[in-house]
Structure 1
Amino acid sequence: MEHAPHEAVRPETRTAGAGTARWIVAGVVALVVVALLAYRLGGGGKGEQAAVTPSPTPSVELTVTEVFERTGPSVVVIRAGPSLGTGVIAAEDGTIVTAYHVVKEAEDVTVTFSDGTKADAVVASSNPRADVATLRPARLPEIVVPATLGGAVAVGAPVVAIGNPLGLTYSVSTGVVSGLDRTVTKGDLSGLIQFDASVNPGSSGGPLLDARGSVIGIVVSIADPGGDEAFAGIAFAVPIGAALGDDGEGPGGGPQI
Protein backbone atom coordinates (compact mmCIF):
# COMPACT_ATOMS: atom_id res chain seq x y z
CA MET A 1 0.00 0.00 0.00
CA GLU A 2 3.01 2.34 0.50
CA HIS A 3 3.73 2.31 -3.25
CA ALA A 4 0.15 3.13 -4.33
CA PRO A 5 0.58 6.95 -4.23
CA HIS A 6 3.67 6.70 -6.50
CA GLU A 7 1.81 4.54 -8.99
CA ALA A 8 -1.09 6.99 -9.06
CA VAL A 9 1.18 10.05 -9.52
CA ARG A 10 3.30 8.45 -12.27
CA PRO A 11 6.19 10.97 -11.82
CA GLU A 12 7.80 10.03 -15.16
CA THR A 13 4.85 11.53 -17.09
CA ARG A 14 3.69 14.42 -14.83
CA THR A 15 5.27 17.54 -13.34
CA ALA A 16 5.06 18.71 -9.74
CA GLY A 17 2.30 21.22 -10.47
CA ALA A 18 -1.40 21.50 -9.71
CA GLY A 19 -2.13 18.29 -11.67
CA THR A 20 0.34 16.37 -9.51
CA ALA A 21 -1.29 17.66 -6.35
CA ARG A 22 -4.70 16.54 -7.57
CA TRP A 23 -3.42 13.02 -8.27
CA ILE A 24 -1.78 12.86 -4.83
CA VAL A 25 -5.01 13.93 -3.12
CA ALA A 26 -7.00 11.39 -5.15
CA GLY A 27 -4.59 8.64 -4.24
CA VAL A 28 -4.74 9.48 -0.55
CA VAL A 29 -8.55 9.60 -0.59
CA ALA A 30 -8.68 6.20 -2.33
CA LEU A 31 -6.38 4.70 0.27
CA VAL A 32 -8.50 6.10 3.10
CA VAL A 33 -11.70 4.68 1.57
CA VAL A 34 -10.09 1.26 1.10
CA ALA A 35 -8.79 1.33 4.66
CA LEU A 36 -12.22 2.20 6.08
CA LEU A 37 -13.91 -0.58 4.12
CA ALA A 38 -11.31 -3.08 5.24
CA TYR A 39 -11.76 -1.97 8.85
CA ARG A 40 -15.55 -2.32 8.73
CA LEU A 41 -15.59 -5.65 6.91
CA GLY A 42 -12.80 -7.00 9.05
CA GLY A 43 -14.46 -6.15 12.34
CA GLY A 44 -11.97 -3.44 13.27
CA GLY A 45 -8.89 -5.33 12.15
CA LYS A 46 -9.38 -8.31 14.47
CA GLY A 47 -8.62 -10.96 11.88
CA GLU A 48 -9.89 -12.39 8.62
CA GLN A 49 -12.65 -14.50 10.25
CA ALA A 50 -14.45 -11.37 11.45
CA ALA A 51 -15.08 -10.42 7.81
CA VAL A 52 -17.55 -13.33 7.37
CA THR A 53 -19.34 -13.00 10.72
CA PRO A 54 -23.07 -12.30 10.10
CA SER A 55 -24.72 -9.36 11.82
CA PRO A 56 -26.51 -9.39 14.14
CA THR A 57 -25.22 -12.54 15.81
CA PRO A 58 -26.75 -14.32 18.82
CA SER A 59 -24.04 -12.73 20.97
CA VAL A 60 -25.27 -9.22 20.21
CA GLU A 61 -27.69 -7.72 22.71
CA LEU A 62 -30.85 -6.50 21.02
CA THR A 63 -33.38 -3.80 21.77
CA VAL A 64 -36.79 -4.94 23.04
CA THR A 65 -38.24 -4.17 19.62
CA GLU A 66 -35.59 -6.34 17.96
CA VAL A 67 -36.22 -9.16 20.44
CA PHE A 68 -39.91 -9.08 19.56
CA GLU A 69 -39.21 -8.96 15.83
CA ARG A 70 -36.84 -11.89 16.18
CA THR A 71 -39.02 -14.15 18.36
CA GLY A 72 -42.58 -12.93 17.78
CA PRO A 73 -43.04 -15.19 14.70
CA SER A 74 -42.26 -18.18 16.95
CA VAL A 75 -45.03 -17.42 19.46
CA VAL A 76 -48.51 -18.94 19.15
CA VAL A 77 -51.90 -18.39 20.77
CA ILE A 78 -53.36 -21.53 22.39
CA ARG A 79 -57.00 -22.15 23.16
CA ALA A 80 -57.90 -25.32 25.03
CA GLY A 81 -61.56 -25.35 25.98
CA PRO A 82 -62.05 -22.35 28.28
CA SER A 83 -58.29 -21.94 28.80
CA LEU A 84 -56.23 -19.35 26.97
CA GLY A 85 -52.48 -19.63 26.87
CA THR A 86 -49.31 -19.10 24.91
CA GLY A 87 -46.78 -21.39 23.29
CA VAL A 88 -43.50 -21.15 21.45
CA ILE A 89 -42.31 -23.11 18.42
CA ALA A 90 -39.30 -25.13 19.54
CA ALA A 91 -38.39 -27.15 16.44
CA GLU A 92 -38.52 -27.00 12.65
CA ASP A 93 -41.25 -29.65 12.60
CA GLY A 94 -43.54 -27.18 14.37
CA THR A 95 -43.42 -28.74 17.84
CA ILE A 96 -44.77 -26.23 20.36
CA VAL A 97 -43.78 -25.96 24.01
CA THR A 98 -46.33 -24.61 26.47
CA ALA A 99 -47.48 -24.93 30.08
CA TYR A 100 -49.18 -28.22 30.92
CA HIS A 101 -51.99 -26.64 32.89
CA VAL A 102 -53.09 -24.71 29.79
CA VAL A 103 -53.94 -27.92 27.94
CA LYS A 104 -54.61 -30.22 30.88
CA GLU A 105 -57.58 -32.53 30.19
CA ALA A 106 -58.65 -30.41 27.21
CA GLU A 107 -60.55 -32.29 24.52
CA ASP A 108 -59.99 -29.69 21.82
CA VAL A 109 -56.80 -27.68 21.45
CA THR A 110 -56.28 -25.11 18.73
CA VAL A 111 -53.27 -22.98 17.97
CA THR A 112 -52.99 -19.77 16.00
CA PHE A 113 -49.64 -18.91 14.48
CA SER A 114 -48.33 -15.38 14.07
CA ASP A 115 -49.33 -15.28 10.38
CA GLY A 116 -52.93 -16.13 11.26
CA THR A 117 -52.76 -19.84 10.37
CA LYS A 118 -55.05 -21.84 12.65
CA ALA A 119 -54.74 -25.54 13.37
CA ASP A 120 -55.96 -28.23 15.68
CA ALA A 121 -53.24 -29.69 17.88
CA VAL A 122 -52.71 -32.74 20.05
CA VAL A 123 -50.62 -33.07 23.17
CA ALA A 124 -47.49 -34.90 22.06
CA SER A 125 -45.88 -35.13 25.49
CA SER A 126 -46.45 -33.80 28.96
CA ASN A 127 -44.71 -33.44 32.29
CA PRO A 128 -47.36 -32.43 34.84
CA ARG A 129 -44.81 -32.23 37.62
CA ALA A 130 -42.83 -29.64 35.67
CA ASP A 131 -46.01 -28.05 34.29
CA VAL A 132 -44.79 -28.26 30.70
CA ALA A 133 -46.15 -29.96 27.60
CA THR A 134 -45.47 -30.15 23.89
CA LEU A 135 -48.08 -29.88 21.15
CA ARG A 136 -48.11 -31.24 17.62
CA PRO A 137 -50.23 -29.09 15.28
CA ALA A 138 -52.17 -30.73 12.46
CA ARG A 139 -51.00 -28.12 9.97
CA LEU A 140 -48.21 -25.58 9.80
CA PRO A 141 -47.88 -22.08 8.42
CA GLU A 142 -46.06 -21.64 5.12
CA ILE A 143 -42.98 -20.46 7.01
CA VAL A 144 -42.14 -22.10 10.33
CA VAL A 145 -39.89 -19.99 12.57
CA PRO A 146 -38.50 -21.96 15.53
CA ALA A 147 -37.23 -19.92 18.45
CA THR A 148 -33.63 -20.04 19.59
CA LEU A 149 -33.52 -22.05 22.80
CA GLY A 150 -31.10 -21.64 25.65
CA GLY A 151 -28.93 -18.85 26.96
CA ALA A 152 -27.20 -17.57 30.04
CA VAL A 153 -29.35 -16.62 33.03
CA ALA A 154 -28.07 -14.24 35.68
CA VAL A 155 -29.72 -12.25 38.44
CA GLY A 156 -30.28 -8.70 37.26
CA ALA A 157 -30.13 -9.58 33.57
CA PRO A 158 -32.84 -8.04 31.36
CA VAL A 159 -35.66 -10.28 30.15
CA VAL A 160 -38.62 -9.99 27.79
CA ALA A 161 -41.89 -11.92 28.04
CA ILE A 162 -44.24 -12.40 25.08
CA GLY A 163 -47.73 -13.74 25.63
CA ASN A 164 -51.47 -13.31 25.45
CA PRO A 165 -52.43 -11.89 28.86
CA LEU A 166 -56.19 -11.54 29.28
CA GLY A 167 -56.56 -12.24 25.56
CA LEU A 168 -54.36 -9.31 24.48
CA THR A 169 -52.41 -11.29 21.94
CA TYR A 170 -48.69 -10.78 21.37
CA SER A 171 -48.22 -8.48 24.32
CA VAL A 172 -44.63 -7.66 25.29
CA SER A 173 -43.38 -6.85 28.78
CA THR A 174 -39.90 -6.28 30.11
CA GLY A 175 -38.10 -6.72 33.40
CA VAL A 176 -35.12 -8.42 34.97
CA VAL A 177 -34.25 -11.78 36.45
CA SER A 178 -35.07 -11.29 40.14
CA GLY A 179 -33.76 -14.63 41.42
CA LEU A 180 -32.75 -18.13 40.49
CA ASP A 181 -33.57 -21.60 41.77
CA ARG A 182 -36.61 -20.25 43.55
CA THR A 183 -38.79 -22.48 45.68
CA VAL A 184 -42.42 -21.60 46.35
CA THR A 185 -43.76 -23.64 49.24
CA LYS A 186 -47.35 -23.34 48.09
CA GLY A 187 -47.58 -25.99 45.41
CA ASP A 188 -44.03 -27.24 45.96
CA LEU A 189 -42.58 -25.19 43.09
CA SER A 190 -38.80 -25.31 42.89
CA GLY A 191 -35.92 -24.63 40.54
CA LEU A 192 -37.69 -21.65 38.98
CA ILE A 193 -36.50 -18.41 37.43
CA GLN A 194 -38.07 -15.47 39.25
CA PHE A 195 -38.64 -12.36 37.13
CA ASP A 196 -40.62 -9.13 37.31
CA ALA A 197 -41.81 -8.63 33.71
CA SER A 198 -45.59 -8.32 33.84
CA VAL A 199 -47.54 -11.50 33.06
CA ASN A 200 -51.18 -12.39 33.68
CA PRO A 201 -53.68 -15.17 32.90
CA GLY A 202 -53.12 -16.09 29.26
CA SER A 203 -49.36 -15.61 29.51
CA SER A 204 -48.78 -19.18 30.68
CA GLY A 205 -46.64 -21.22 28.30
CA GLY A 206 -45.10 -18.16 26.73
CA PRO A 207 -41.37 -17.67 26.32
CA LEU A 208 -39.16 -15.78 28.73
CA LEU A 209 -36.37 -14.32 26.60
CA ASP A 210 -32.93 -12.93 27.27
CA ALA A 211 -31.52 -9.78 25.67
CA ARG A 212 -30.42 -11.80 22.64
CA GLY A 213 -33.89 -13.15 21.90
CA SER A 214 -33.17 -16.67 23.14
CA VAL A 215 -35.75 -18.62 25.15
CA ILE A 216 -34.42 -19.10 28.68
CA GLY A 217 -37.67 -20.23 30.28
CA ILE A 218 -41.36 -21.06 29.92
CA VAL A 219 -43.73 -18.88 31.95
CA VAL A 220 -45.82 -20.99 34.33
CA SER A 221 -47.02 -19.02 37.36
CA ILE A 222 -47.21 -15.82 39.37
CA ALA A 223 -47.20 -14.99 43.04
CA ASP A 224 -50.81 -14.33 43.94
CA PRO A 225 -50.96 -12.98 47.51
CA GLY A 226 -54.39 -11.41 46.95
CA GLY A 227 -55.92 -14.54 45.44
CA ASP A 228 -57.25 -12.53 42.51
CA GLU A 229 -54.80 -13.65 39.79
CA ALA A 230 -53.49 -10.09 39.53
CA PHE A 231 -49.81 -9.54 38.82
CA ALA A 232 -47.96 -8.63 42.01
CA GLY A 233 -44.54 -8.08 40.49
CA ILE A 234 -43.33 -11.65 40.98
CA ALA A 235 -43.54 -14.27 38.26
CA PHE A 236 -41.88 -17.60 37.62
CA ALA A 237 -40.66 -19.59 34.65
CA VAL A 238 -39.37 -23.12 34.24
CA PRO A 239 -35.78 -22.97 32.91
CA ILE A 240 -35.79 -24.11 29.31
CA GLY A 241 -33.43 -26.98 30.07
CA ALA A 242 -35.83 -28.39 32.65
CA ALA A 243 -38.81 -27.72 30.38
CA LEU A 244 -37.30 -29.85 27.62
CA GLY A 245 -36.09 -32.60 29.96
CA ASP A 246 -37.90 -35.91 30.24
CA ASP A 247 -36.72 -37.06 33.65
CA GLY A 248 -39.82 -35.87 35.45
CA GLU A 249 -37.77 -33.73 37.82
CA GLY A 250 -38.56 -30.08 38.29
CA PRO A 251 -41.27 -27.74 39.44
CA GLY A 252 -44.95 -28.51 39.54
CA GLY A 253 -48.26 -27.29 40.92
CA GLY A 254 -48.58 -23.80 42.35
CA PRO A 255 -50.68 -20.74 41.52
CA GLN A 256 -50.95 -20.96 37.76
CA ILE A 257 -51.82 -18.47 35.09
Structure 2
Amino acid sequence: MITRGRRRGAGRGDVRRLAGAALAMGLLAGCSALPAMPDPVPTLVEPSIPPAPAPSSSGNLSPDGFDTAQRIAVRIRNIGCGALSTGSGFAIDDHTVITNKHVVADTSTLQVSTYDGRDVTANEAATAGLADLAIVRTAETLPAAPALADADADIGDAVTVVGYPLGRTLTVTPGHVVARHTDPLNETLGEVLVTDAPVEPGSSGSAVLDADGRVVGVVYAKDQNGHSFVVPVSTLRSMLDDDTAFTPLTPCTS
Protein backbone atom coordinates (compact mmCIF):
# COMPACT_ATOMS: atom_id res chain seq x y z
CA MET A 1 0.00 0.00 0.00
CA ILE A 2 1.24 3.46 -0.79
CA THR A 3 2.08 5.64 2.17
CA ARG A 4 0.69 9.12 1.74
CA GLY A 5 2.19 12.18 3.38
CA ARG A 6 0.17 14.45 5.59
CA ARG A 7 -2.43 16.33 3.65
CA ARG A 8 -1.33 19.94 3.77
CA GLY A 9 -2.92 21.40 0.68
CA ALA A 10 -3.34 24.85 -0.68
CA GLY A 11 -6.55 26.79 -0.19
CA ARG A 12 -9.68 25.69 -2.00
CA GLY A 13 -9.27 28.33 -4.65
CA ASP A 14 -5.67 27.26 -5.29
CA VAL A 15 -6.67 23.62 -5.52
CA ARG A 16 -9.44 24.46 -8.03
CA ARG A 17 -7.00 26.39 -10.17
CA LEU A 18 -4.50 23.55 -10.03
CA ALA A 19 -7.20 21.04 -10.89
CA GLY A 20 -8.16 23.05 -13.94
CA ALA A 21 -4.54 23.45 -14.96
CA ALA A 22 -3.94 19.73 -14.57
CA LEU A 23 -6.41 18.99 -17.35
CA ALA A 24 -3.94 20.53 -19.78
CA MET A 25 -0.84 18.86 -18.38
CA GLY A 26 1.39 16.60 -20.39
CA LEU A 27 4.15 14.09 -19.85
CA LEU A 28 7.63 15.47 -20.34
CA ALA A 29 9.69 12.81 -22.07
CA GLY A 30 10.57 12.98 -25.73
CA CYS A 31 10.69 15.92 -28.06
CA SER A 32 7.45 17.60 -27.00
CA ALA A 33 4.91 17.65 -24.19
CA LEU A 34 1.58 15.97 -24.85
CA PRO A 35 -0.73 16.38 -26.70
CA ALA A 36 1.59 17.61 -29.50
CA MET A 37 2.63 15.07 -32.15
CA PRO A 38 6.19 13.74 -31.89
CA ASP A 39 8.93 14.94 -34.21
CA PRO A 40 9.80 12.81 -37.26
CA VAL A 41 11.96 9.77 -36.61
CA PRO A 42 15.63 10.72 -37.14
CA THR A 43 17.61 8.93 -39.80
CA LEU A 44 20.70 8.80 -37.62
CA VAL A 45 21.24 8.28 -33.91
CA GLU A 46 23.53 10.99 -32.61
CA PRO A 47 26.54 9.89 -30.54
CA SER A 48 26.53 10.51 -26.84
CA ILE A 49 26.73 14.17 -25.89
CA PRO A 50 30.13 15.18 -24.44
CA PRO A 51 30.41 16.20 -20.79
CA ALA A 52 28.22 19.21 -20.10
CA PRO A 53 29.58 22.25 -18.29
CA ALA A 54 28.72 22.45 -14.63
CA PRO A 55 25.47 24.32 -13.86
CA SER A 56 26.03 28.00 -13.15
CA SER A 57 23.61 28.00 -10.22
CA SER A 58 23.29 25.70 -7.22
CA GLY A 59 19.56 26.37 -6.90
CA ASN A 60 18.33 25.86 -3.34
CA LEU A 61 21.08 23.36 -2.56
CA SER A 62 23.83 23.53 0.02
CA PRO A 63 27.40 23.11 -1.38
CA ASP A 64 27.40 19.40 -0.45
CA GLY A 65 23.92 18.97 -1.89
CA PHE A 66 24.98 20.65 -5.12
CA ASP A 67 27.95 18.32 -5.52
CA THR A 68 25.70 15.31 -4.94
CA ALA A 69 23.10 16.60 -7.42
CA GLN A 70 25.59 16.78 -10.28
CA ARG A 71 26.89 13.26 -9.69
CA ILE A 72 23.59 11.42 -9.30
CA ALA A 73 21.80 12.73 -12.39
CA VAL A 74 21.84 10.74 -15.62
CA ARG A 75 20.60 11.42 -19.13
CA ILE A 76 18.54 8.67 -20.78
CA ARG A 77 18.18 8.26 -24.53
CA ASN A 78 15.36 5.92 -25.59
CA ILE A 79 15.88 4.46 -29.05
CA GLY A 80 12.45 3.02 -29.70
CA CYS A 81 10.64 1.32 -32.53
CA GLY A 82 9.66 4.38 -34.54
CA ALA A 83 10.87 7.19 -32.28
CA LEU A 84 13.83 8.65 -30.45
CA SER A 85 13.28 10.47 -27.14
CA THR A 86 15.24 11.69 -24.16
CA GLY A 87 14.61 11.82 -20.44
CA SER A 88 16.35 12.17 -17.11
CA GLY A 89 16.94 9.90 -14.15
CA PHE A 90 19.03 9.51 -11.00
CA ALA A 91 20.95 6.76 -9.28
CA ILE A 92 19.72 5.23 -6.04
CA ASP A 93 22.58 2.74 -5.72
CA ASP A 94 25.65 1.63 -7.69
CA HIS A 95 23.64 -0.04 -10.47
CA THR A 96 20.07 1.28 -10.26
CA VAL A 97 18.50 4.34 -11.89
CA ILE A 98 15.05 5.75 -11.14
CA THR A 99 13.16 7.44 -13.98
CA ASN A 100 9.61 7.62 -15.38
CA LYS A 101 7.70 4.81 -17.00
CA HIS A 102 6.97 6.93 -20.05
CA VAL A 103 10.71 7.67 -20.47
CA VAL A 104 11.46 3.98 -21.13
CA ALA A 105 8.20 3.03 -22.88
CA ASP A 106 8.33 1.42 -26.34
CA THR A 107 12.10 1.07 -26.20
CA SER A 108 14.40 -1.08 -28.23
CA THR A 109 17.59 0.25 -26.63
CA LEU A 110 18.23 2.51 -23.65
CA GLN A 111 21.39 4.61 -23.51
CA VAL A 112 22.43 6.08 -20.16
CA SER A 113 25.13 8.76 -19.76
CA THR A 114 26.53 10.33 -16.61
CA TYR A 115 27.43 13.93 -15.73
CA ASP A 116 31.03 13.40 -16.87
CA GLY A 117 29.99 12.12 -20.31
CA ARG A 118 30.50 8.43 -19.57
CA ASP A 119 28.18 5.97 -21.31
CA VAL A 120 26.71 3.30 -19.04
CA THR A 121 25.18 0.11 -20.40
CA ALA A 122 21.54 -0.46 -19.46
CA ASN A 123 20.96 -4.16 -18.88
CA GLU A 124 17.24 -4.17 -18.12
CA ALA A 125 14.30 -2.02 -17.11
CA ALA A 126 11.11 -2.52 -15.13
CA THR A 127 8.03 -0.31 -14.92
CA ALA A 128 5.48 0.37 -12.20
CA GLY A 129 1.79 -0.23 -12.71
CA LEU A 130 0.55 2.33 -10.18
CA ALA A 131 2.78 5.38 -10.65
CA ASP A 132 4.77 6.83 -13.54
CA LEU A 133 8.01 5.26 -12.32
CA ALA A 134 10.58 2.88 -13.74
CA ILE A 135 13.83 1.21 -12.69
CA VAL A 136 16.80 0.80 -15.01
CA ARG A 137 19.64 -1.56 -14.06
CA THR A 138 23.13 -0.77 -15.32
CA ALA A 139 26.16 -2.96 -15.97
CA GLU A 140 28.75 -0.36 -14.99
CA THR A 141 28.95 1.39 -11.64
CA LEU A 142 27.17 4.74 -11.37
CA PRO A 143 29.09 7.74 -9.95
CA ALA A 144 27.03 8.40 -6.83
CA ALA A 145 23.68 7.83 -5.16
CA PRO A 146 21.73 10.24 -2.92
CA ALA A 147 19.88 9.56 0.27
CA LEU A 148 16.11 9.32 0.09
CA ALA A 149 14.40 11.77 2.44
CA ASP A 150 12.56 10.23 5.38
CA ALA A 151 9.39 12.26 4.74
CA ASP A 152 7.67 14.16 1.96
CA ALA A 153 8.32 17.84 1.49
CA ASP A 154 5.79 20.27 2.96
CA ILE A 155 4.08 23.15 1.19
CA GLY A 156 6.47 26.10 1.14
CA ASP A 157 9.62 23.95 1.29
CA ALA A 158 12.43 24.93 -1.08
CA VAL A 159 13.32 22.23 -3.60
CA THR A 160 15.65 21.83 -6.58
CA VAL A 161 15.03 19.84 -9.77
CA VAL A 162 18.15 18.26 -11.30
CA GLY A 163 18.00 16.84 -14.81
CA TYR A 164 18.62 17.21 -18.54
CA PRO A 165 15.80 19.24 -20.10
CA LEU A 166 15.61 18.71 -23.87
CA GLY A 167 18.39 16.13 -23.46
CA ARG A 168 21.01 18.87 -23.31
CA THR A 169 22.93 20.49 -20.46
CA LEU A 170 22.64 19.33 -16.86
CA THR A 171 20.35 21.90 -15.25
CA VAL A 172 19.69 22.79 -11.62
CA THR A 173 16.30 24.50 -11.24
CA PRO A 174 15.10 25.95 -7.91
CA GLY A 175 11.49 26.17 -6.79
CA HIS A 176 9.07 25.56 -3.94
CA VAL A 177 6.34 23.07 -3.15
CA VAL A 178 3.11 24.99 -3.75
CA ALA A 179 0.44 22.32 -3.20
CA ARG A 180 -0.49 18.69 -2.79
CA HIS A 181 -2.96 17.45 -5.38
CA THR A 182 -4.68 14.23 -6.40
CA ASP A 183 -2.65 12.83 -9.28
CA PRO A 184 -4.52 13.97 -12.42
CA LEU A 185 -3.05 11.14 -14.52
CA ASN A 186 -3.30 8.21 -12.11
CA GLU A 187 -6.13 8.87 -9.67
CA THR A 188 -5.57 5.63 -7.78
CA LEU A 189 -2.09 6.83 -6.85
CA GLY A 190 -3.34 9.41 -4.37
CA GLU A 191 -1.65 12.74 -3.78
CA VAL A 192 1.37 14.10 -5.58
CA LEU A 193 3.41 17.25 -4.99
CA VAL A 194 3.07 20.37 -7.13
CA THR A 195 6.05 22.75 -7.45
CA ASP A 196 6.70 26.03 -9.22
CA ALA A 197 10.08 24.81 -10.51
CA PRO A 198 9.87 25.13 -14.32
CA VAL A 199 10.66 21.98 -16.29
CA GLU A 200 10.85 21.07 -19.97
CA PRO A 201 10.44 17.99 -22.17
CA GLY A 202 13.34 15.72 -21.25
CA SER A 203 13.05 16.63 -17.57
CA SER A 204 10.90 13.57 -16.90
CA GLY A 205 12.50 11.38 -14.27
CA SER A 206 14.50 14.24 -12.73
CA ALA A 207 15.25 14.04 -9.03
CA VAL A 208 13.63 16.67 -6.80
CA LEU A 209 15.99 17.42 -3.91
CA ASP A 210 15.82 19.22 -0.59
CA ALA A 211 18.53 21.67 0.48
CA ASP A 212 20.84 18.86 1.63
CA GLY A 213 20.56 16.92 -1.62
CA ARG A 214 18.12 14.27 -0.36
CA VAL A 215 15.51 13.04 -2.82
CA VAL A 216 11.98 14.20 -1.98
CA GLY A 217 10.36 13.20 -5.26
CA VAL A 218 10.51 12.45 -9.00
CA VAL A 219 9.29 14.84 -11.72
CA TYR A 220 6.85 13.25 -14.16
CA ALA A 221 4.70 15.98 -15.76
CA LYS A 222 4.01 19.68 -16.09
CA ASP A 223 1.06 21.92 -16.87
CA GLN A 224 0.63 25.05 -18.97
CA ASN A 225 0.93 27.32 -15.94
CA GLY A 226 4.53 26.42 -15.16
CA HIS A 227 3.78 23.89 -12.42
CA SER A 228 5.69 20.62 -12.26
CA PHE A 229 4.13 17.46 -10.82
CA VAL A 230 6.18 15.18 -8.60
CA VAL A 231 5.77 11.62 -7.33
CA PRO A 232 6.59 12.06 -3.60
CA VAL A 233 9.38 10.13 -1.92
CA SER A 234 6.88 8.30 0.32
CA THR A 235 5.38 6.69 -2.80
CA LEU A 236 8.81 5.91 -4.22
CA ARG A 237 9.88 4.27 -0.96
CA SER A 238 6.71 2.16 -0.78
CA MET A 239 7.14 0.92 -4.32
CA LEU A 240 10.81 0.10 -3.88
CA ASP A 241 9.87 -1.96 -0.81
CA ASP A 242 7.21 -3.88 -2.78
CA ASP A 243 8.62 -6.79 -4.81
CA THR A 244 5.49 -6.80 -6.99
CA ALA A 245 5.41 -3.08 -7.78
CA PHE A 246 7.64 -3.23 -10.89
CA THR A 247 7.23 -5.48 -13.93
CA PRO A 248 10.14 -6.28 -16.27
CA LEU A 249 9.93 -4.32 -19.52
CA THR A 250 10.03 -6.25 -22.78
CA PRO A 251 11.88 -4.33 -25.52
CA CYS A 252 9.89 -3.54 -28.62
CA THR A 253 10.79 -5.04 -31.99
CA SER A 254 10.64 -3.08 -35.21
The normalised TM-score by structure 1 is: 0.63
Following superposition, the deviation at residue 148 of structure 1 comes to 1.3
Instruction: Give 1:221 deviation, angstroms.
Output: 0.7
Q: Give the C-alpha shift of residue 248 in structure 1.
A: 4.6
**Secondary structure in 2 matching 1:68:** helix
Q: Distance in 2 between matches of 1:186 and 1:95?
A: 25
Match of 2:118 in 1: 117
SS at match of 2:66: helix
Tell me the amino acid that sits aligned with residue 75 of structure 1.
A
Paired position in structure 2 for 1:84: 86
Would the alpha carbon gap of residues 79 and 211 (structure 1) be closer, same or farther in structure 2, given more than 3 Å must change? same
**Relative contact order higher in (CA < 8 Å, ≥ 6 apart):** 2
Find the structure with the greater CA-based Rg: 1
**What does residue 108 of structure 2 align with?**
107
Whether contact under 8 Å (1:160, 1:175) holds in the other structure is: yes
Q: CA deviation at 1:172?
A: 1.1
1:1-257 equivalence runs, <5 A: 64=61, 66=63, 67-81=65-79, 82-91=84-93, 93-140=94-141, 144-152=143-151, 153-180=153-180, 182-185=181-184, 188=187, 190-224=190-224, 232-244=225-237, 245=239, 246=242, 248=245
Question: Residue type matched to 2:227 in 1?
Answer: I
What's the offset of the Cα at 1:140?
Answer: 2.5
Instruction: List alignment gaps of at least 5 residues for structure 1.
Output: 1-61, 225-231, 250-257
Structure 1 vs Structure 2: percent identity of aligned residues? 32
For 1:120, the aligned partner's letter is T
Partner in structure 1 of residue 24 of structure 2: none
Alignment check: 8 A CA contact 2:183 2:191 kept: no
Q: Which blocks of at least 5 consecutive residues in structure 2 are unaligned?
A: 1-58, 247-254
SS at match of 1:169: coil
Distance 1:235 1:201, change over 3 A: same
Shift in Å, 1:187 = 5.3
Q: CA deviation at 1:65?
A: 6.0
Over aligned residues, Cα RMSD in angstroms?
Answer: 2.2
The 1:137/1:178 distance shift into structure 2, 3 A limit, reads same
Q: Supply the distance in 2 between the matched residues of 1:223 and 1:215 (Cα, whole angstroms).
A: 22
Corresponding residue SS for 2:108: coil
Deviation digits for residues 167-211 of structure 1, max 9, x if unmatched?
23211111101112x114455364211111111110000100111
Q: Deviations over 1:23-58 (max 9, x none)?
A: xxxxxxxxxxxxxxxxxxxxxxxxxxxxxxxxxxxx
Between Structure 1 and Structure 2, the one with more helix by share is 1
Shift of 1:63: 5.1
- 2:197 partner SS: coil
**2 CA distance for matches of 1:63 and 1:238?**
19
**CA separation of 1:211/1:118 partners in 2, compared to 1, >3 Å: closer, same or farther?**
same
- Secondary structure at the aligned position of 1:205 is classed as coil
Give SS of 1:242's match: helix
Contact (CA 8 Å) 1:100, 1:132: kept in 2 or not? yes
Deviation at 1:72?
1.2
Corresponding residue SS for 2:107: coil
